[in-house]
Structures are given as structure tokens and as C-alpha cells.
């Protein structure tokens, strides 16, 4: 099971929090090949563009429980899409957006 958690955005210019909400399209990350699956968390910071896409060049890992999972989380996040945010009727980018991707082993 892999969980995606939407988080707020801290706009560093005005210091107000902006809730970007959950993605409207996401691709579930996969457990990295050759790595024993385990429960892990990767927190990422990124920019949502004016079109709602994640700017892949803006993605950075800000916290991780296992570096072997970082690239898988980055690859998945690069394919996410968020609702377009607007100010004064114009679409705007949202830098400093954050999310958490959790990898969890479930036993049935």
C-alpha cells in the first residue's frame, strides 16, 4: 500500500499557508527494484505550475526515512497534477508545495 498525503504550502514571500489539496491525478510510486520492501516515508517540496502540473525540476527531497526510496517518490510526483490555483482570475504557480509519500507493507 502506498499513501499520498497532500500538505499545505508556505509561501515564503508572504508567509501565508496555501492548501493545495490532494492531487487530481496521481501515479502510485512503486517499490524500488532490488530493494527489500519496507515501511518508508519520503517528504518532498515542489512547485505546482500555472497549468497544475508538477514542475519536475523543482522537486526536492526534504526528509526521508530511506534514501533508496527517494527516486521512486520523485518519479511518481513528477506525474501528479493538481487543481489550478488562481489569483485575481489568473492562474498562478505555487512554489514551496509539499507532500508526503508513504510506502507501507500490508499483511492480509
- pLDDT tens for 59-101 read 999 999 999 999 999 999 999 999 999 999 999 999 999 999 9
Joined together, the cell numbers standing for residue 36 give 527489500
Global confidence as pTM: 0.81
CA dihedral 104, 105, 107, 108 (to 10 degrees): 60
3-state secondary structure of 58: helix
Gap between the Cα atoms of 41 and 47, Å rounded: 20
CATH of 2-17+40-103, one of 3.90.1580, 3.30.2420, 3.30.310, 3.40.1350: 3.30.2420
Gap between the Cα atoms of 77 and 10, Å rounded: 19
Amino acid at each position: 500500500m502506498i499513501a499520498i498525503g497532500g500538505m499545505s504550502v508556505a509561501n515564503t514571500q508572504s508567509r501565508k499557508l496555501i492548501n493545495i489539496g490532494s492531487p487530481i491525478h496521481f501515479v502510485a510510486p512503486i517499490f524500488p527494484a532490488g530493494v527489500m520492501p519496507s515501511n518508508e516515508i519520503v517528504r518532498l517540496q515542489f512547485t505546482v505550475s500555472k497549468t497544475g502540473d508538477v514542475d519536475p525540476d523543482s522537486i526536492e527531497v526534504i526528509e526521508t526515512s530511506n534514501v533508496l526510496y527517494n527516486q521512486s517518490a520523485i518519479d511518481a510526483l513528477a506525474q501528479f497534477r493538481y487543481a489550478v490555483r488562481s489569483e485575481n482570475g489568473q492562474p498562478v504557480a505555487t512554489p514551496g508545495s509539499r507532500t508526503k509519500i508513504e510506502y507501507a507493507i500490508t499483511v492480509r
